[in-house]
């Protein structure tokens, strides 16, 4: 488990103590290789958390919170499986969600980007629809356990805590569409990936119907407060839901020992997509 430092402004050109600033709230990236970034250049500047901070700063947005990298490593599929269990499971320090997300101080918003390893674990005998249903159920359980069962711990603003006031105070949860995999998915597994993404995007207001008054209706069918289309950001044809989007863009991967891995550009593209989608009310609700 890797947890990145707090980042409150652009990291470009900064190292060491200049980047270790204390923020008033925390935003957690929880997921697999799409979050962990351990296939990018290991210079402390190319983690997804760093890329998002830089994208925000470059857009003129002031970053008033820490961005924490709660990604698991990229080298073992078992490390990246979505947790199972009840959506209302009690806090447990042995649980990966509690360690990576809920035990962090003053968490306000969580982005879940996971599911590829669960697709790879689907046996060839399992129908694509059944594989997709299993992944959707796990994503829904995870989003519900974070966003519905827990509240932020803003000690400077206790009115945001539902125990002390009528405010909701619950953690905002976004789910990312599942990007195409660098590892080969079977035809069934790829079909299941497209089904999961279709189900997620069904909760959003389509571009053709998006107007200035449109808003994402929280919670979605998977208990999410918004959808970030990571799949479209890095797929060869810019799609999240068809076979043409089954491969990663050439610029977003590199070949090493006959295996393709996500490149620095892959994480830059994810960060750009987050910045765009998180500010689009047709795709996401405002974060707490």
| DSSP structure class, residue 72 | P
Backbone angles phi, psi at 153, to 5 degrees: -110, 55
- Mean pLDDT for the chain overall: 75
> What is the widest separation between alpha-carbon atoms in the chain?
57
Nearest-angstrom CA–CA distance, 235 and 34 = 13
| pLDDT value of residue 231 | 94
Residue 221 structure tokens: 């069918």
98 occurs within a structural domain = yes
* CA atoms of 131 and 260, how far apart (whole Å): 24
pLDDT on residue 133: 96
The answer to whether position 1 is within a domain reads: no
pLDDT < 50: residue spans in the chain: 1-23, 86-90, 92-94, 155, 158, 160-168
- pLDDT in the model for residue 103: 59
Three-state secondary-structure class, residue 66:
strand
Domain limits for position 169: 16-278
Q: What is the pLDDT of residue 209?
A: 81
Determine whether 239 is exposed, middle or buried from the number of CB atoms within 10 Å of its CB (0-12, 13-18, 19+): middle
**What's the predicted TM-score (pTM) here?**
0.80
Any domain includes 9: no
Asked if the structure places residue 10 within a domain, the reply is: no
Q: In this predicted structure, what is the pLDDT of residue 63?
A: 61
Residue 140 lies in a domain: yes
- Does residue 286 lie in a domain region? no
Q: Do residues 135 and 78 touch, judged by C-beta distance below 8 A?
A: no
pLDDT at 195: 96
Domain assignment present for residue 285? The answer is no
The number of folded domains in the chain is 1
Q: Is 96 within a domain?
A: yes
- The pLDDT value recorded for residue 62 is 60
- Going by C-alpha positions, the residue among 182, 275, 287 that lies closest to residue 229 is 275
The CATH number for 204's domain is 3.40.50.1110
**What is the C-alpha R_g of the chain?**
18
């Amino acid at each position: 488990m890797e947890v990145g430092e707090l980042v409150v402004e652009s990291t470009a050109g900064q190292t060491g103590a200049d980047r270790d600033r204390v923020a008033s709230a925390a935003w957690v990236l929880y997921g697999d290789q799409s979050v962990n970034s351990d296939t990018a250049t290991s210079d402390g500047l190319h983690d997804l958390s760093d890329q998002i901070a830089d994208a925000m700063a470059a857009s003129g947005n002031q970053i008033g919170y820490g961005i924490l990298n709660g990604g698991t490593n990229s080298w073992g599929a078992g490390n990246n499986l979505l947790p199972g269990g009840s959506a209302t499971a009690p806090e447990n320090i042995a649980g990966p969600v509690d360690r990576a997300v809920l035990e962090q101080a003053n968490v306000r918003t969580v982005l879940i980007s996971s599911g590829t390893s669960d697709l790879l674990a689907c046996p060839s005998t399992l129908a694509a629809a059944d594989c997709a249903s299993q992944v959707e159920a796990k994503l829904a359980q995870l989003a519900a356990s974070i966003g519905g069962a827990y509240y932020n711990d803003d000690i400077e603003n206790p009115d945001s805590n539902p125990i002390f006031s009528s405010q909701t105070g619950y953690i905002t949860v976004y789910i990312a569409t599942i990007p195409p995999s660098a590892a080969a998915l079977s035809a069934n597994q790829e079909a299941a990936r497209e089904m999961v993404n279709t189900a997620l995007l069904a909760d959003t207001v389509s571009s053709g119907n998006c107007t200035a008054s449109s808003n994402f209706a929280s919670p979605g069918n998977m208990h999410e407060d918004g959808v970030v289309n990571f799949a479209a950001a890095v797929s060869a044809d810019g799609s999240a839901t068809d076979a043409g989007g089954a491969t990663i863009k050439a610029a977003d991967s590199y070949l090493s020992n006959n295996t393709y891995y996500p490149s620095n550009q892959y994480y830059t593209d994810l960060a750009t997509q987050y910045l765009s989608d998180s500010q689009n009310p047709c795709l996401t609700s405002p974060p707490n």
